[in-house]
Structure 1
Amino acid sequence: MTRSSTPRPRTGTRATTRRTAVCTAAALAVALTACSAPGESDDDTKASSGPIKVAVVNAQSGQLSSLGDWEYKGAKLAVDEWNEKGGVDGRKIQLKLFDDQGDPTTGTNIARRLVSDKYVAMIGTAESAVTIAMGPVLQQAKIPNITSGQSDGLVALKSPYLFLNGPTSTTYDSTLAQHLVKDKGYKKIAMITNNGSFGKGEHDAFLKAVKDLGVTPSTDQVVTTDQKEFSAALTKIRSTKPEVIFIGSEEVEAGLIVKQARDLGITAPFAGAAPQGTPVFIDTAGKAAVEGTIVSSPYLSNDVSAASKKFAAAYQDAYGKEAELHGAKAYDGANILLTALKTSNGASGQELADAIRDTRYKGLLGDFQYDESGVGITKTTIGVIRDGELVPQQ
């Protein structure tokens, strides 16, 4: 019997087959990489269909839940308006709320979930300490984050994916210090702040601002974030007979401080930043106790412009409640994010972060233009509480 005369494949043919298989596998790998979620590869991603997943992370329980509620409502209002008009290039925005409980550890765990669940971006938090804790996880995953926090510690992270939807404590407090020292002529200024991220940021920013103006506080009292009784600190403040008292703490604690100060017979006006312009602060302290409080804010009321009136009316219609600063900040932040998603054709990662930085947006708080630090607005104005309402300084 003779062997078959069919020729065997040449070595070159086998090599070509192997190269074809390798190239096909490589092409498949590239295709799969292009579909990766944020944080799963070093490449930016851009999906062309399906909903765009955006998270809102804020306290929905605990002492800071009012902030989270305002922030969620503001962001949701903006998203609902975009979705009613077709979303971003026909893709709807899928907004999901996460409760960080005002706790940095909980926030960090949520950040990891945003990575695994393939969220494109995050709005929040309103608590600087929580946002700072989440920052490294979000940065590593290239997930852009627009926060309502104002601590200068946020800027110190130097994350190219972190953006503020309002001014920093330095802006709030330098404007306030200028008003108290230059406009009002106050020289005897007392301070009371807490030792949390927000309070420390306020403390350092205001202290530097007044010292730069040649004024050293008559006393500088620091309390804890969970403190409820302040008689010791307030007694020391009372002994200095201050002309004004700077307060750097969140809404509920600040309200308790003012209420107890009035009970101790302290009549000097208080001065502060964003928390002192909120209904929670006013309600906690009492209308009479907060009369004359001086507030530095980029959003003094719903009546300052045609845009603010339109926003407030839409907010009232949607939720049956009156809008305020934190809702306005989140509304601006969400609109900036959605605008960037549109201009980048639904990009994520570095490309989306670059689009946010390139966005010029005329918002409720002012004209946003982000710099490399993630700060987009650097101006506040002075208001005063009269008859339970924050109104522009006359």
Structure 2
Amino acid sequence: MIPSTRHIARHAARHVARHITRRLASGLALALTVCALPGTARAQAQPAAAAITLGTTAPFSGPFAEYGEEYRKGADACLAPVNAAGGVRGRPLRIAYLDDAYDAPRAAANLRTLAGQGVAAFVNLVGTGPMLAMQPVLDELKIPAIGTSSGADVLRTPEGASPWVVHTKASNGDEFAGFARMLPTIGMTRIALVVQDNAFGKAGLASALKAFQQPGQTTPVVNLGQDAAGMEAAIAQVRQAEPHAVVLIAAGTAAPAFIAQYRQAAGASARVAVLNVVGGRVLTGQLKEQVAGILTAVLYPSPWTGTRRAAREYQAAMAEAGQELSLLSMEGCMNLRFAVAALRAAGDDASPAGVRRALDRGVVLDLGDFALRLAPGSRVASRHMSLGIYRANGRLTE
């Protein structure tokens, strides 16, 4: 039977309707897909910018654990506003941490582990002994290290310095020279040096003797014993010398232990001066109100001052993080901020080589009334030192 013209027309109309329906459905699906993506139909979802990683090996266990913990608190607190503001060239920053328990071989091994994670630089490394072991590894890995707790001059001499290490604070030699210059102005002319028998103490003693030894004058040197009997013998030697002040070259728990026993034997007015790195909760926490009157070198603005921009910005970051203020966390913050400045100066090349080139050109962290200025070719960003005194509440007065 031959279809009629009317039948053919109806069939064609149904075919066209089905075709139009399919096209409309396809178009609607495409429209829904486009609406689900940002921008136009050509827009593609962009992957998040890869994070830039900094690495830290430090003691988070053992007698020097306070150093690692306080540096971490300061660095993490001051990293948060950097990431909130977009990181570095749109890339967020993170810090990878490893515990070395202040063990030199373990610290060196941790550097290799962190290097395998693709760090752009190391920050906030801790200890003279560990640094002596880490410097050859840094030279081998060719990764910069920015900021170390150690002020040992042996790490800054032409023979002992590493081109891959940048120091953001004055050296122990600068601190001892400051003590030798400032203590006599407040009537403290007779000084005794009390020295811990480890790499920190030995390195510090050489710098202290250079600052305090005068022609025809002998500065008593007393070795700090490793046990209670040795501590008692050291205190007896110091009292026999009758110094106006003791310059203590010791860190960790040995420092507050000596100060407490020495003041118990010689009286609460006995004066002790400590290096900047000795300050912190390990000192104030153990001595409590007995910390009052202890002298110290101040290498950064006091964390408690309200007049310095560096301190105010640190205080705001620590408050946001819910952390208490301290000398060591202030240092951890400043080291982190200088590392960020170096990364920004490196431009689009946030590799170890790019950061090293930026450091070689010179990097400045200018905070108005305080700055870290690394001159081209230099490896020391600050030699600032002032004299501070602890109050009974553990805070410093400069």
Q: TM-score range by the shorter chain?
A: 0.7 to 0.9
Return the match for 2:388 from 379, 383, 388.
383
Q: Which amino acid aligns with 1:243?
A: H
Q: Which amino acid aligns with 1:265?
A: A
CA contact (8 A) 1:308 1:364 kept: no
TM-score (norm 2): 0.79
For 1:152, the equivalent position in structure 2 comes to 153
Per-residue CA deviations over 1:65-109 (Å, capped at 9, x if unaligned) read 111011111222232222112211122213211111111011011
For 2:129, the equivalent position in structure 1 comes to 129
CA RMSD of aligned residues (A): 2.3
CA contact (8 A) 1:160 1:353 kept: no
For 1:166, the equivalent position in structure 2 comes to 169
Per-residue CA deviations over 1:139-194 (Å, capped at 9, x if unaligned) read 2111010123211122243211101122110111111111112x123232111011
* Separation in structure 1 between the aligned mates of residue 368 and residue 177 of structure 2, nearest angstrom: 21
For 2:260, the equivalent position in structure 1 comes to 259
Q: Which amino acid aligns with 2:366?
A: K
Q: Which amino acid aligns with 1:246?
A: V
For 2:35, the equivalent position in structure 1 comes to none
CA contact (8 A) 2:288 2:394 kept: no
Aligned pairs (5 A) from 1:1-394:
50-146=50-146, 147-156=148-157, 157-181=160-184, 183-212=185-214, 215-217=217-219, 219-223=220-224, 227=227, 230-266=231-267, 267-288=269-290, 290-299=291-300, 300-303=302-305, 304-318=307-321, 320-344=322-346, 345-357=348-360, 358-363=362-367, 366-371=370-375, 372-393=377-398
CA contact (8 A) 1:228 1:256 kept: no
Q: Which amino acid aligns with 1:387?
A: A
* Separation in structure 1 between the aligned mates of residue 165 and residue 194 of structure 2, nearest angstrom: 29
Q: Which amino acid aligns with 1:204?
A: A
For 1:5, the equivalent position in structure 2 comes to none
DSSP-derived class of the 1:264 partner: helix
TM-score (norm 1): 0.80
Q: Could you tell me how far 1:202 is from its partner in structure 2?
A: 2.4
Q: Which amino acid aligns with 1:216?
A: T
Q: Could you tell me how far 1:364 is from its partner in structure 2?
A: 9.4
* Separation in structure 1 between the aligned mates of residue 342 and residue 283 of structure 2, nearest angstrom: 34
* Separation in structure 2 between the aligned mates of residue 172 and residue 364 of structure 1, nearest angstrom: 23
* Larger Rg computed on CA atoms: 2
DSSP-derived class of the 2:396 partner: strand
* Separation in structure 1 between the aligned mates of residue 272 and residue 138 of structure 2, nearest angstrom: 37
Q: Which amino acid aligns with 2:358?
A: A
CA contact (8 A) 2:107 2:134 kept: yes
Per-residue CA deviations over 1:7-63 (Å, capped at 9, x if unaligned) read xxxxxxxxxxxxxxxxxxxxxxxxxxxxxxxxxxxxxxxxx9622121122111011
CA contact (8 A) 2:165 2:379 kept: yes
Runs of 5+ unmatched residues, structure 1:
1-47
Per-residue CA deviations over 1:300-324 (Å, capped at 9, x if unaligned) read 3421513302312321330x33222
DSSP-derived class of the 1:143 partner: coil
DSSP-derived class of the 2:389 partner: strand
Structure 1 residues 346 and 335, CA gap change in structure 2 (3 angstroms) = farther
Q: Which amino acid aligns with 2:374?
A: Y
Per-residue CA deviations over 1:243-294 (Å, capped at 9, x if unaligned) read 1111011142110001111232355210121144323212323423x33211
CA contact (8 A) 1:102 1:130 kept: yes
Per-residue CA deviations over 1:173-226 (Å, capped at 9, x if unaligned) read 111111112x12323211101122322232222221112587532x201236x5
For 2:17, the equivalent position in structure 1 comes to none
* Separation in structure 2 between the aligned mates of residue 306 and residue 52 of structure 1, nearest angstrom: 27
Which range moves more in the overlay, 268-277 or 135-144?
Answer: 268-277
Identity of aligned residues (%): 23
Task: Tell me how many residue pairs correspond in the alignment.
Answer: 341
* Separation in structure 2 between the aligned mates of residue 313 and residue 92 of structure 1, nearest angstrom: 20
Q: Could you tell me how far 1:373 is from its partner in structure 2?
A: 4.9
